[in-house]
Amino acid sequence: MADAVADSFIGALRAAVGPTHVLVAEHDVAPFLTDWRGRFTGRARAVVLPADTGQVSAVVRACAAARVPIVPQGGRTGLVLGSVPDAGGDAIVLSLRRLNRIRAIDAANRTMTVEAGCILADVQAAASEAGMLFPLSLAAEGSCTIGGNLSTNAGGTAVLRYGNTRELCLGLEAVTAQGQVWDGLRGLRKDNTGYALRDLLIGAEGTLGVITAAVLKLYPAPQAALTALVALDSPRHALELLGLLQARCGAALTGFELMSAFCLQLVATHFPDLPRPFAAPHPQYALVELSSNESAEHAQALLEAAVGAALENGVARDAVVATSTQQALGLWRLREHIPLAQAAAGKNIKHDISLPVSRIPDFIVQADAALQAAFPGCQPVTFGHLGDGNLHYNVAPPGGSGHEAFLAHQGAINRIVHDAVAAFGGSISAEHGIGALKREELARYKSPVELDMMRAIKAALDPLGIMNPGKIL
């Protein structure tokens, strides 16, 4: 872009959002360019921080006129390079963090309308202050934004009961690739009036338009939530325990997390102050949460009866039921610190996969065996949301080996894991999205018909190809 044209473009951005909210100096732009895990740093022409939907619209119109790519960005907590620009330096970063208002809470309709830049933890807190629950919960909730959650269709620990972010959203406001504003902020649970544009934009990772606000579902705040950590012999026993809990507890079962012995060994090594609930290690663990809208006594009776039955019939080896909020938080910290312990141990190869719940035990056995045959001594780090079929199936190098050298095998390891996922009828991305990191993998596992349909949608809604280019497709 010639200097005069570039100056005119930057001038248009400044006119749209104000001069202080268009960042061009290297030190100002730098914090927006590196991904959450610090693996990649891109380049950008500018970082633009609009304050409202009208300003987003003006910025997109300026970019469309100048044919400048746009990378929408929320809390920058994504794990697939979806919210950072590439190395070309042609794009702008459109940071939505100033769109952070909670516009309305409709208690009778059990909805809240929030802007895309709202931090997830702040949305949870606002719902709580209104005596209700917004159930989306994930490790990055203190930093991630609702816009980012929607753009990746985030999952988290409560999907088993409440569903992914798509199921928690009733309506959207969005800016199209042409800069038009679509006002779909309807708090309706039934609206059968044509194509589901809301569902199309959710999970699209900013490639079809910019989500600026959403109507979210709220739920009655539970009277009590109880947590237990159950020791098990195998993933097969975890599946049996899940079935037992679903049969006995029904909708009260809120979370069911699977963790291997190696996961908790990593946590114990790198975070020795965290609880050690059992005197001896066990092959697998299930972290279980029940919530009740009746009473703490009701939840406790349900959980103790179900866990007791699992111990009695040999499904479970041992169990610890939290007797206080502090103990429950301690058990959840074990789960939440697994990724932190992995990072402290060194680099590893990550996979965010989903499978039919019934096939997870067999997948783990087959994938573990295939990896050991190809890379003897490598260590699968298996944990995740067994209740909804989502595993974080990561692979660490053999003890004592170099992490960088092991990462050189990432392509081959991905092939083993993803081929097994495909063979078991699963998906290579459960809740993190595709971004730029998994784009080539998507092309391998999606059918030509699916890819052609996706390209047709992209071409129709973003004919100039300026919305988050290089992501997904």
pLDDT confidence of residue 1: 60
Tell me, yes or no, whether 457 lies in a domain. Answer: no
Q: How far is CA 194 from the centre of its chain?
A: 28
* Dihedrals phi, psi of 382, to nearest 5 degrees: -105, 120
Do residues 307 and 200 share a domain?
A: no
What is the Cα–Cα distance from 283 to 261, expressed in whole angstroms? 5
pLDDT confidence of residue 400: 61
pLDDT confidence of residue 38: 86
Question: Judging by DSSP bridges, how do beta strands 46-48 and 92-95 pair with one another?
Answer: parallel
Do residues 323 and 375 share a domain?
A: no
Do residues 281 and 196 share a domain?
A: no
pLDDT digits (tens, 9 = 90+) for 250-285: 999 999 999 999 999 999 999 999 999 999 999 999
Do residues 61 and 141 share a domain?
A: no
What is the Cα–Cα distance from 305 to 251, expressed in whole angstroms? 16
Mean model confidence pLDDT for the chain: 95
Range of the domain at 201: 102-220
| Contact (CB, 8 A) for 242 and 236 | no
E strand residue ranges, 218-331? 219-220, 224-232, 253-260, 284-292, 318-321
pLDDT digits (tens, 9 = 90+) for 427-449: 999 999 999 999 999 999 999 99
Contacting residues for 393 by C-beta, under 8 A, at least 6 apart? 351, 353, 364, 367, 380, 381, 382, 384, 417
Does position 377 have pLDDT exceeding 90, yes or no? yes
Do residues 126 and 185 share a domain?
A: yes
Do residues 192 and 283 share a domain?
A: no
* Dihedrals phi, psi of 167, to nearest 5 degrees: -75, -15
What average pLDDT score do residues 212-218 get? 98
* The domain boundary residue, chosen from 161, 187, 220: 220
> In 3D, which of 123, 187, 114, 200 has the Cα closest to residue 156?
123
Does position 3 have pLDDT exceeding 80, yes or no? no
| Contact (CB, 8 A) for 68 and 179 | no
pLDDT digits (tens, 9 = 90+) for 64-96: 999 999 999 999 999 999 999 999 999 999 999
Distance linking the first and last C-alpha atoms of the chain: 25
Tell me, yes or no, whether 461 lies in a domain. Answer: no
DSSP string computed for 6-61: HHHHHHHHHHHH-GGGEE-SHHHHGGGTB-TTSS-B---SEEE--SSHHHHHHHHH
For residue 294, name the pLDDT band (cuts at 50, 70, 90): confident
Do residues 333 and 351 share a domain?
A: no
Does position 401 have pLDDT exceeding 70, yes or no? no
What is the Cα–Cα distance from 468 to 73, expressed in whole angstroms? 10
CATH number for the domain that contains residue 230: 3.30.70.2190
What average pLDDT score do residues 396-408 get? 83
DSSP string computed for 334-401: HHHTHHHHHHHH---B--EEE--GGGHHHHHHHHHHHHHHHSTT-EEEEEEEGGGTEEEEEEEPPTTS
Do residues 272 and 233 share a domain?
A: yes
* Inter-CA distances, 312 with 5, 241, 305, 319, 346, Å: 75, 12, 10, 12, 40
Do residues 298 and 405 share a domain?
A: no
Tell me, yes or no, whether 400 lies in a domain. Answer: yes
pLDDT digits (tens, 9 = 90+) for 337-347: 999 999 899 88
Tell me, yes or no, whether 161 lies in a domain. Answer: yes
Do residues 211 and 262 share a domain?
A: no
pLDDT confidence of residue 399: 79
Q: How many CB atoms neighbour CB 268 within 10 A?
A: 16
Do residues 154 and 204 share a domain?
A: yes
CA atoms within 13 A on the CB side of 248: 20
pLDDT confidence of residue 292: 87
pLDDT confidence of residue 7: 81
| Contact (CB, 8 A) for 362 and 369 | no
What average pLDDT score do residues 371-388 get? 95
Tell me, yes or no, whether 467 lies in a domain. Answer: no
* Tokens encoding 196: 């589901």
% of the chain surpassing 70 pLDDT: 99
Q: How far is CA 242 from the centre of its chain?
A: 23
Does position 329 have pLDDT exceeding 70, yes or no? yes
What is the longest distance spanned by two Cα atoms in the chain?
Answer: 78
Tell me, yes or no, whether 302 lies in a domain. Answer: yes
For residue 39, name the pLDDT band (cuts at 50, 70, 90): confident
Q: Into how many domains does the chain fold?
A: 4
> In 3D, which of 434, 387, 358 has the Cα closest to residue 290?
387
* The domain boundary residue, chosen from 95, 129, 146: 95
% of the chain surpassing 90 pLDDT: 91
pLDDT confidence of residue 267: 97
Question: In one letter, which amino acid is 450?
Answer: E
What average pLDDT score do residues 183-193 get? 96
Do residues 242 and 150 share a domain?
A: no
* The domain boundary residue, chosen from 339, 365, 390: 339
What is the Cα–Cα distance from 58 to 64, expressed in whole angstroms? 10
| Contact (CB, 8 A) for 254 and 158 | yes
pTM of structure:
0.93
pLDDT confidence of residue 357: 97
What average pLDDT score do residues 447-469 get? 98
pLDDT digits (tens, 9 = 90+) for 236-254: 999 999 999 999 999 999 9
> In 3D, which of 63, 1, 71 has the Cα closest to residue 40?
71
More confident residue, 298 or 352: 352
pLDDT digits (tens, 9 = 90+) for 97-110: 999 999 999 999 99
Does position 371 have pLDDT exceeding 80, yes or no? yes
